[in-house]
Amino acid sequence: MRTVAALLLLAACGGSSSSSPAPGAPAQNEAPPTAVASTVPTCEEVVDRVMTLFPGPAEDRAEGIAECESKPWTESLRRCVVAVQDQDDLFACLRAEGGFEDEDPADATTAGAPNEAEHNLEALKKGAKAYYLGNAAFPVGTMPLTPAASCCAFDRGLCPPDDRQWDVAAWPDLNFLISDAHRFRYSYQSDGNTFVATALGDADCDGVEVGYTLEGRTVNGTLQITLTKPTHED
């Protein structure tokens, strides 16, 4: 398999979980794929969906199907892939299965950057979306503000990196990890049908925190995720 589609198909034969994605856009409503099918998609359906995004020769399709059948690909990955609408969705599915890594992992931006919270909530959004596409539900759990203490309690107002605090409960299912020093704390709560995630921070450590809120739900079977920014910058 020689095309880009072939590389993605091979990458999708990974396994467990890994990192997710990239800085995102400002607050907006999103209307990606509808609810996940109850039956497990066939390898033909999965490969055909990938090749609508990355067209290639007929031999790529045959080899992709053979790869899918020989691994085999997980049910959650198959469901996720057949529901994608664009290349970004596909990459999110592959990252969620640990089969694809790019040069833009889901870590924090440079500490103190004005879009730190937006970037990290965009990463969380993509993780939640990929999980939903593969499981027809969001990761269930209640994650309090992480870390518990304000970042202003630490040197230069920066929360120190600690990978262990992101390796519990719902965070791994969201492929969410901040491995650099950061100024915001993050929370997540979901019953599986909806979720609310927040980023709370006090960049200038004046005692006034600002908050960003990311909310996800389905409306008439369509996934919608909305980011609400604070009314004023810190």
pLDDT digits (tens, 9 = 90+) for 142-170: 999 999 999 999 998 999 999 999 999 89
Q: How many CB atoms lie within 10 A of CB 167?
A: 10
What CA–CA distance (Å, rounded) separates 230 from 113? 16
Which tops the pLDDT comparison, 233 or 1? 233
Structural domain boundaries in the chain: 4-22+31-96, 116-228
Is residue 129 within 8 A of residue 135, CB to CB? The reply is no
β partners of residue 195: 190, 216
Alpha helices, H only, 71-102? 75-82, 87-96
Q: What pLDDT does 62 receive?
A: 84
Q: By mean pLDDT, which of 54-63, 113-122, 184-193, 203-212 is the weakest?
A: 54-63
β partners of residue 227: 214
* DSSP one-letter string for 149-190: S-GGGSGGG-BPP-GGGGSSTHHHHTT----S-BSEEEEEEE
Which tops the pLDDT comparison, 86 or 5? 86
Q: What pLDDT does 64 receive?
A: 80
What CA–CA distance (Å, rounded) separates 229 from 51? 37
Record the pTM: 0.62
What tens digit of pLDDT does each residue of 6-43 get? 444 544 444 433 333 333 333 344 444 444 455 888 88
Q: What pLDDT does 11 receive?
A: 47
Q: By mean pLDDT, which of 32-36, 76-80, 172-176, 226-230 is the weakest?
A: 32-36
